[in-house]
Structure 1
């Protein structure tokens, strides 16, 4: 797992959570305060897009098995960011009911339990969306850890295979040395046999000559 990617990921998760809270609070405002909040949210969305681009670049520079897991997580983050964009567009284009605005202004409790049923529903939806995002992140982390365990297992198998190959190579070197020694022994034996053949041939020749001389002298008498 890339430490750089994890750093960007933490920054994005914190930023996404803050943007969701700001979207919820923006629905309770109007006028200049609402415009200012929307501007802050848009700036945050730009920062979130920048973080996603950085995560994408970092993920694509990693090994294929790790990259595949991280790209799945990125798709989830991109979907989450698209939902935030849709939410801010809806907030920017919507107009709160004037009576509800007056009631909120009079009460002076924009962030209290006096929110309308529709606003509470949106808050619940935002919370549910964050919970789902957290679940997806946990699942992605689980998949990533399983992939890392698989990678470690494969590396261990490769190490064992390398050791086996090195042992086999050493064995082959030993066999080659034995073969070389055997070849030398056979060569020496062959030379000795050739030398012995010449010696035996010479002895036989001498014996034949001796017998021939003996017969010659006997016959000449």
Structure 2
């Protein structure tokens, strides 16, 4: 039989509360070493499961009728707040465990010459780290200076290219001006040629007409 959205919501919510109870029990338990780390890894897995359930609750609440939806929305809001609180608690426990592991690893003292690391060894390690940091800083400064020199060379090259482009542009502008002048001169010559052609045509027509008139008078009279 198909369950209603409210029934599914309640079922998911019960699973969620059960998981949170298990997480709380694990976080409050005592332990150390690999056993404690295994418990914390289990907590991370269960927190992911709880996160998935909250996503399922967000889906199911969409199908709940508006008349009762507000109370389920409040329960969903509370579930999200509880999950956030447990995530923060788990993070704090992880941090405490990490600090405890570091303290155990660095627990050698001057009274224990056979400890994992003596004070002298830690001092030498610190000096080595400082020296490595200084060397990296010098390398970084050298790379920065080289990059600055390369940048200056690039700027000089770009400046020369810009001057060349500007010179070529000026040359093109002068050539364009000369072409315009030449075009104007050619247009004037063409107009003059047409004008002379019209005059020549008119003179030819006049001469032909004059010859015809003379022939007419001579032949007819």
Structure 2 length as normaliser, TM-score?
0.48
Larger radius of gyration: 2
Q: Identify the structure with bigger relative contact order (alpha carbons < 8 Å, sequence gap 6+).
A: 1
Structure 1 length as normaliser, TM-score?
0.48
